[in-house]
Chain A
């Protein structure tokens, strides 16, 4: 059996940062990823990474902390947010030292910073509109330098636990060679990213199927705050592809069909740079009330001029031309809100450790520390991935150095093998594609920007039906080599689990907070609902529990922009 001290599942920003930290702490760490590391969806992040460097104006980690607490609509844990913001400059400098090609200020040569939504100061460091790509590549180059063993195109099917319920490894399907193997470990770090594919349209990659969350949930680990899905205000109508918040940070306007900058009605101070939940609701309202253009509003960049667009937003121009047939230098881009980032995830503490399972750690979008609460600020996701990726790497290494040899069940891979054989033998039944389409459609329609009891319960009923239907799912491809049909089918099972936790949490939360906006409970209710949702899977049913929010010094205030 293959073994390592620490196994990290997922090789995007959080996963690679964790692996680097664990390697530097002196343990044997390996990455396992269903893609090649540079294919990870972190690379699609465009606008930037927040850190109070104060390069453009005075700024402080306190400012950053306050903006994040407020952005989270007071359901983020304030101690965790303090850690995030305090470590932010160190992590950005570390990335720079490793070679990240950040855009620079004209004269000083310091890292340039741009304004972003919900932030009081220009705090977002960037590399044109390719920030995620540049940081992903930087971390990959460090993994190459350190020669960190990487199982590329290995799809994880199970989280393995010992008799006492400790995490001791994973089972994975080697897609190229067709084998199913156990990789034993003293600690497992989950970093598989978001579950945006529960929705359609979504800015997320096809691979963003929330694997780690479902793997943990099925082993008794609760998922936290799953009802909070962020809808990004600017996504392309054709396919949901992201248009960075940096477009508004650079000065872009949002216009309705009458050419009005409608944000002045909804956020008179911050306008287009209010936080994302506020802007998405404003857009959805304009569209619902008949002031949209073919189900969209318009993002106008023309006044920025060709030079600025070419220098700061080259990828946006390329994508708008390729997918919307629109050159933003010449005309406004039709955009609408689309599922983008999942605030919820595997319930972990400030070190990324899962309190319900020794040896299990999680970081990045698949985890919930929680620093984003009910609404993440733009530029804070790359930051969270590196800060808590590093901390999870450090903590998992320390745990691995402390704990004894793991007792990895010898039949783990064989059990998975049997299950997959059984699935492949099945003939006649629905295929995963139709189940996924139906799921994404109902989530989009009934668990979207605005929610209310009736549609949420209908969505729950559909999810339950689809879960039953999934029991008879059929895989077309019976082969062993690069069987994407099999992988999609297993992923569809993950998506169904996660949709169930999202809907169930949303039905129960009788208030409007951040991205969870109820038309039947329109106010934030701090007295009853300033608490985290914990979702467990008990005999196939979702059970909810709640845990307190940690406050340090920021009292909840009315949130306006």
Chain B
């Protein structure tokens, strides 16, 4: 047997209490107990008002994402003793997922999440009538979208997303994983339109590449990788007018030319019009030594290695 204190986020709008708070529940439990089982026992034995979303308890329905000691997990898949061992403390703090408004205790308003999901046109749009039997898809081509197809829409990635914290309108990791799942499906005929739809404001180029979505996804979907692959698709489809795409392109040109980053080129290319307004910033950067003194590209020694790298990346995407 083991014993744990659960410091649970409480928000009880029906009680007239408009503020949230944390409440401690002490629970004796078997060594092998999941966070979800513990929460349900608290609900059953100590406080029936505790609200939490859950269903399958086998890591597939995606209902029970929450934060345990600040880290987003699926409650049903996380062992209490392992979480304690990780933090080294006897108390586990349980909070709702981040970046969403609370409804009651651990239950949050998922409306924005579903709206963003719907905004990526998450359905197959093929060309022409369907054949009598199945469409033939080579095994390798189907496997290209296998990882993203395993997304359970638990929103753990939204909970951890730094771009979303800065811009609530950012479409977000799971929705883009789904976007990639369709854009890269060879049965879909909307590759270019999807590239356009996913670029632009709050789109793929607004991702800060913090990698937390990859890190915390409980199903190994790697949404950041999907966003990156969508970037590649945008390039292949020549959807490169977006500032973010131009930034990436400038980066690439700069790499090709000199094997290292040339900030002047990147700044100018990314936003040739708006760049003028950034002149004072550029001057200050120049003074602080953050920009190369000469606009001419300085070349690194082993540039052929960089070229090889670029070629490798191109071939894998």
Contact = CB atoms under 8 A, between A and B. Distances in A.
A35 interface: yes
A176 B13 CA distance: 11
Nearest to A206: B55
B104 interface: yes
A179 interface: no
B145 A133 contact: no
A533 B205 CA distance: 61
Interface string A434-464: 0000000000000000000000000000000
A477 B15 CA distance: 10
A142 B152 CA distance: 17
A130 interface: yes
23 contacts: A35-B61, A36-B110, A36-B114, A38-B152, A38-B153, A39-B61, A41-B61, A43-B56, A89-B133, A93-B132, A93-B133, A93-B134, A101-B145, A108-B136, A112-B139, A128-B146, A133-B60, A142-B123, A144-B118, A239-B37, A241-B57, A242-B58, A479-B12
Given A39-B56, A104-B137, A130-B149, 11 more contacts: A89-B133, A93-B134, A96-B135, A97-B134, A99-B185, A101-B185, A102-B142, A109-B136, A239-B58, A479-B49, A482-B103
Contacts of B103: 176, 481-482
Contacts of A38: 61-62, 152-153
A482 B15 CA distance: 13
Interface residues of B, number: 58
The 7 A-B residue pairs with the shortest CB-CB distance, nearest first, are A476-B48, A479-B14, A99-B124, A109-B136, A433-B44, A485-B48, A141-B123
Given A128-B146, A482-B103, A205 B133 contact: no
A178 B103 CA distance: 11
A205 B49 contact: no
B57 A206 contact: yes
Nearest to A99: B124
B60 A43 contact: yes
Interface in A121-148: 127-128, 130, 133-134, 137, 141-142, 144-145
Contacts of B24: none
Nearest to B107: A482
A129 B9 CA distance: 35
B270 interface: no
Interface in A289-343: 315, 318-319, 322-323
Given A35-B63, A133-B150, A431-B48, A241 B58 contact: yes
Interface string A46-76: 0000000100000000000000000000000
B56 A41 contact: yes
Contacts of B137: 104, 109
Contacts of A431: 44, 48
A552 interface: no
Given A38-B153, A99-B123, A476-B47, A111 B56 contact: no
A435 B149 CA distance: 39
Nearest to A141: B123
State the majority secondary structure of interface residues on B.
loop
B134 A479 contact: no
B122 A322 contact: no
Nearest to A98: B124
Contact of A482 (B104, B126, B150): B104
A103 B60 CA distance: 19
Contacts of B51: 481-484
A476 B49 contact: yes
A511 B133 CA distance: 43
Contacts of A92: 134
A412 interface: no
Interface string B12-31: 11110000000000000000
B54 interface: yes
A207 interface: yes
A370 B98 CA distance: 46
A242 B60 CA distance: 11
Contacts of B44: 431, 433
A134 B149 contact: yes
Contacts of A108: 136
B45 interface: yes
A387 to B, nearest CB: 17
B306 interface: no
A539 interface: no
Nearest to A311: B143
Nearest to B150: A130
Contacts of B187: 99
Given A137-B149, A431-B48, A484-B51, A205 B57 contact: yes
B61 A205 contact: yes
Interface string A109-121: 1111000000000
A241 B77 CA distance: 12
Contact of A101 (B56, B123, B142): B142
Contact of A433 (B15, B45, B123): B45
Nearest to A480: B14
Contacts of B182: 99
A288 interface: no
Contacts of B130: 93, 97
B56 to A, nearest CB: 4
Nearest to A484: B51
A383 interface: no
Given A44-B61, A205-B55, A481-B13, A109 B139 contact: yes
Nearest to A137: B149
Interface string B142-165: 100110011011000000000000
A39 B182 CA distance: 21
A207 B139 contact: no
A141 B139 CA distance: 23
A101 B149 contact: yes
B55 A207 contact: yes
Nearest to A144: B118
B58 A485 contact: no
B134 A44 contact: no
Contact of B152 (A106, A133, A476): A133
Contacts of A414: none
A508 interface: no
B298 interface: no
Contacts of B49: 476-477, 479, 485
A104 B141 CA distance: 9
A323 B36 CA distance: 13
A494 B15 CA distance: 29
A414 B29 CA distance: 42
Interface string B251-279: 00000000000000000000000000000
A403 interface: no
A43 B123 contact: no
Given A431-B44, A479-B14, A44 B60 contact: yes
A112 B48 CA distance: 47
A420 interface: no
